[in-house]
Chains A and B, each alone.
Chain A
Amino acid sequence: MAAKASRAAFGEALVELGARDPRIVTLDADLSKSTMTVKFAKTHPDRAFNLGIAESNMIGVASGLALTGKIPFACSFACFVVGRFETIRMSVAYTNANVKIVGTHSGIAIGEDGYSQMGLEDIACIRSLPNVPIIQPADELETKQVIAFAVEHQGPLYLRLTRQNLEPVCPADYRFALGRWLTLRPGTDVTLIASGGTVFNTLEAAKKLEADGISAEVINAASIKPLDEDMLVASAARTKHVVTIEDHSIHGGLGGAVAEALAEVLPMPLKRLGVTGFGESGDPKGLYAKHGLDPAGLAASIRKFLHR
């Protein structure tokens, strides 16, 4: 399997699932070419609605459609769709409408467009809503399974997708389940928990650490809410060291969720790697290097944490 952006895999999955399930509809806010729902709109023009650059209305319309039995995917860049948090809070979450909110272009990895287009706070916002699971797939295989799951799941849900291509990381026989993580690489010295676009670089960092005699366990945490607390606690109890790696603010994201969970049942020092300030323009590789999310940067931070 070649590298593919999770937004592209999402677009393909929607076409396939949409052919089988007439309840599926898409809503966009003038970014359908970027969220990749444009393919669905071509094959199912009567079920694709472009609401214009009006995300709040898009979210509300999605809620109304859900309340009449449709399965709406309301899509935009993560920062724009979750930026209308109050509408999500009332019209989707509190209303308990079966809306699938899709935020693409997550993280600094989008590159040149800069901070205004980067979803860096979306997980923190959505995590505070009691009934909205958050899922961030790490490759094409996982994305397609997650989209199929989203269709079956009764209730609101937030999907966090990437603009950039993702290298395959999940084995062919992998099956996604909500609240279940996947160990991609067993290890004994440190637990590395990554999600979405940072999983591949975390695996690469683990290889570098191995050369230094550090055995790193790498976990793909697609299910950010709920966490896989069983796997988290079991792995952390073995390695005694936990590092989270995400392309999101270190405040309130995967790292925040893991820290909160561990603090309650198995307190231990933990390192959250991710974005600490605003994003900025630049080439994606250069940005990852600057913000320490490239394999070398991750390995260096993890080494420093272990030898602190």
Chain B
Amino acid sequence: MADVQLDAIARACRVQIIRMLTHAGSGHPGGSLSVIDLLVSIVFGRLRHDPKRPDWPDRDRIVLSKGHAVPALYTVMARAGYFPESQLITLRKLGSPLQGHPDRVALPGIEAATGSLGQGLSVSLGMALGLKLATSPARVYCIMGDGELQEGQVWEAAMSAPKLGQPNSPLDNLTAIVDYNKIQLDDFTAKILDLEPLVAKWQAFGWPVQEIDGHDLAQIGKALDQAEATHGTPSLIVAHTVKGKGVSFMENNPEWHGKAPKPEEAITAIREILGVSEAAWADYLKTDATTRALVDELRALEKK
């Protein structure tokens, strides 16, 4: 799929992220907006999967280790056809399979329960090894947060990965990605527990590392290509991202790690994501019935 199409999908997914979080009244917009371009690139750019057969043994797998960003994954899954897009607004509601953090049992297509940070890379290693042992062509994509890298288990996995399965089953079917948005719940990562020098750390553990702009679809695509072409070892992409990307008042602001927008904030956020100026907004809504309906839907929430 061409980057221009991926860009349009990412934009639509950003709108849905804002919509579902506003309905839920809680959740994590910042990290969902920072990771969405990476997810869209993987799922619509290259993932070999079949939403009708979520248990297909040879499917590629995504493990969203930073499970709090699962609204981003849900929007992508809905768009890919795992469940109807109308279900997105059941996020975090009683009885919904769209749990606040990923639940593999509740929602087919989720590969592992995550949300307790630091565990996804280990599970991804096991999947990559299992697929290699089964001589499956499938790949594993593990997406971690930067704050998550403060968990010790990540470094157990990092130390283990380049060695595991050698020499016959090296884990070169694993692409790990760090969504490096520089912010964690309490504050900037540099203030809480600095990760730098991050690239040198992973390299010292034996990983080939690429550093990219995690919002540049061309760079993402190229890095994923290169990871896929790497033989004999898993590889890591450090994706520099902006927390809250696409919404001016959320961008680079720790306040928006784990807070849902109010309906009026959500409408402003959607306008910005769609790239419409405040002055042109009223006219724009006359031409875009879908967005008009969405704005009405969000306004109605205010009255509840």
Interface residues of A (CB under 8 A from B): 25, 46-47, 49, 51-52, 54, 56-70, 72, 86-87, 89-91, 94-96
The interface residues of chain A lying within 8 Å CB-to-CB of B103 are 94
Contact of A63 among B57, B112, B131, B133 (CB under 8 A): B112
**Closest approach, in angstroms, between the C-beta of B254 and any C-beta of chain A?**
25
The interface residues of chain B lying within 8 Å CB-to-CB of A46 are 133, 168
Given A62-B126, A69-B57, check contact A91 B119 (CB 8 Å): yes
Residues B100-148 near A (CB distance < 8 A) = 103-105, 111-116, 118-131, 133-134, 136
Q: Mark B66-102, 1 if CB is under 8 A from A, else 0.
A: 0000000000000000000000000000000000000
Task: State which of B34-42, B153-161, B265-273 sits at the interface with chain A.
Answer: B153-161
The interface residues of chain A lying within 8 Å CB-to-CB of B25 are none
Cβ-closest 3 pairs across A and B? A64-B126, A60-B122, A68-B130
The interface residues of chain A lying within 8 Å CB-to-CB of B168 are 46
- Chain B, residue nearest A46 (CB): B168
Contact of A61 among B105, B129, B131, B133 (CB under 8 A): B129
Cα separation A20 to B113 with both chains bound (whole Å): 31
**Closest approach, in angstroms, between the C-beta of A222 and any C-beta of chain B?**
28
Q: Is B164 an interface residue (CB 8 A)?
A: yes
The answer to whether A54 touches B159, judged by C-beta atoms less than 8 angstroms apart, is yes
* Binding site secondary structure of chain A: helix
The answer to whether A91 touches B127, judged by C-beta atoms less than 8 angstroms apart, is no
Interface residues of B (CB under 8 A from A): 57, 103-105, 111-116, 118-131, 133-134, 136, 152-153, 156-157, 159-160, 164, 168
The interface residues of chain B lying within 8 Å CB-to-CB of A60 are 119-123, 125-126, 153, 157
Contact of A90 among B116, B127, B157, B160 (CB under 8 A): B116
Given A64-B127, A68-B130, check contact A59 B105 (CB 8 Å): no
The answer to whether B130 touches A70, judged by C-beta atoms less than 8 angstroms apart, is yes
The answer to whether A51 touches B160, judged by C-beta atoms less than 8 angstroms apart, is yes
Cα separation A90 to B127 with both chains bound (whole Å): 16
Cα separation A150 to B130 with both chains bound (whole Å): 19
Summed over the interface, the residue pairs from A and B with CB atoms below 8 Å come to a total of: 115
The interface residues of chain A lying within 8 Å CB-to-CB of B126 are 60-68, 72
**Closest approach, in angstroms, between the C-beta of B58 and any C-beta of chain A?**
10
**Closest approach, in angstroms, between the C-beta of A117 and any C-beta of chain B?**
20
Q: List 6 A-B contacts (CB under 8 A).
A: A52-B156, A62-B126, A67-B126, A90-B114, A91-B123, A94-B103
Given A54-B156, A56-B152, A60-B119, check contact A68 B113 (CB 8 Å): no
The interface residues of chain B lying within 8 Å CB-to-CB of A69 are 57, 130, 134
- Chain A, residue nearest B168 (CB): A46
Cα separation A208 to B152 with both chains bound (whole Å): 52
Cα separation A86 to B133 with both chains bound (whole Å): 28
The answer to whether B123 touches A56, judged by C-beta atoms less than 8 angstroms apart, is no
Cα separation A62 to B156 with both chains bound (whole Å): 14
The interface residues of chain B lying within 8 Å CB-to-CB of A49 are 129, 164
**Closest approach, in angstroms, between the C-beta of B169 and any C-beta of chain A?**
8
The interface residues of chain A lying within 8 Å CB-to-CB of B130 are 64-70
Given A56-B152, A61-B164, check contact A91 B122 (CB 8 Å): yes
**Closest approach, in angstroms, between the C-beta of A171 and any C-beta of chain B?**
39
Cα separation A58 to B153 with both chains bound (whole Å): 10
Contact of A64 among B113, B116, B124, B159 (CB under 8 A): B124
The interface residues of chain B lying within 8 Å CB-to-CB of A87 are 119, 122, 153
Cα separation A46 to B130 with both chains bound (whole Å): 12
